[in-house]
Amino acid sequence: MQVVSRQPNEAAPARIQPLAVLPVFLDLTGKRAVVAGGSDGAAWKAELLAAAGARVEVYALTADLSEEMRRIVGRESAIILLERTWRPADLSGAAVALADAGDDREAAAFEAASRAAGAACNVIDKRAFCHFQFGSIVNRSPVVVGVSTAGAAPILGQAIRRRIETLLPPALAKWAALARDLRDRVAETLAPGARRRAFWEKLVDRAFGPAPTVVSEAELREAVMLGSAGEPRGHVTFVGAGPGDGELLTLKAVRALQAADVILFDDLVSDEVLELARREAQRILVGKRAGRPSCKQDEINEMMVSLAKAGRRVVRLKSGDPMIFGRAGEEIEALVREEIGYDVVPGITAGLAMASALGVSLTHRDSAKSVRFVTGHSRRGGLPEDMDWRAIADPSATTIFYMGGRTAGEIASRLIAHGMPGSTPVVVAADIGRAGQQIRTGCLSVLMDVPSEPAGSKPVLIGIGNVFGPHAKKCVVAHQGTSRSAA
């Protein structure tokens, strides 16, 4: 056996790195808390203490009460107002004492009285007189998450709290309450070891699953108890990845990515969005792009079904919105045939992202009465043969062509042939919502001269309609003269 020795002055390696503060959770149920002061800050802290189960006594003169303090004193039965200034004797028997002190002298007196009474003290915005600090809170009670920066950067603490909020579904509170209520029953029916651990792991999986919302406590209990036996059943969540900017994802989309076992993602999904997924999740590219090797639709369907039947939580991640030109309908049909559960999380479709990037209302009442999303290619690669071009040429509508790079010239020719003026404003965009975003403006007659999109390039989005007029004025002027170059 090898013996490792240290020199007398050599320090042992620390098991825990230094902490700025020690996170501690106080049980204040039925305990007394004292609040000195009637400001907005004191009102917020009083409400927080009452929410934690404390009986709160507020000491303040009526003339010093803020509107917020008046509101909570009148509403919260656990908050009692004593219309006078505090005295040291008032702190006797209190578990927590809080003050909004006017100066350091008053703060020091309050801290000394708190210490003498054995109460934990907090003086608002005067850290030197505090025994503890209030952090930012994520409330999924009985799950409570506290975030502290030890007073160094409160705004940073709030930003961290917002990030955590996105990962914890609101229904987590019910799952945690269920776990608390079932603990004794599980201990009685399942012996310590693999079976009991498997039960709790299954409950956690359901709590963080793709559809954690519950209907009733009875349904929840039955679902979990029955789910502790038998083979696991998978689930598929269709998630809209938006145009590329990860910050445009919904909170529900981020939670689904964090709960996934497997992610089947399209070629257009950005790395930024994939970075928000659970690290352990398997990522499989199933993109379909013209002009390059890609998965066939029936292969994707079979993969989804196979993974779900194996009990995996599958996220089908699609660029934009999964229900707009994403062939989600065919994939849902495959799941329904196999009786596999699914849900859909919408995303921001590229047409709306383009409008936001331009600052254009697609339904500006002075320019458009409707919006159309139209496919720019058929299964065979060209324009669909059964399109109603006369209806699409309606000048009172805004039309967005998806995947229209290869057919841009033909789109313009057909619209002009069906009566749409060649001066109609046009926007051509690629990589919307990404660092390499490109937006060009022009008019319909110039679009006729756009060459076909080269194989392997990014899909092109084409917006046509008078709402784009302010962005294509130069082109319209040029069209009326001798030149026909895009702005």
* 288 is an active site residue: yes
Are the C-beta atoms of residues 422 and 455 closer than 8 Å to each other?
A: no
- Comparing CA positions, the residue from 300, 299, 233 lying closest to residue 263 is 300
Among candidate residues 90, 245, 261, 266, the one labeled active-site is 266
Number of residues assigned to the chain: 487
Of 31, 202, 252, 288, catalytic: 288
Residue positions annotated with a catalytic role:
266, 288
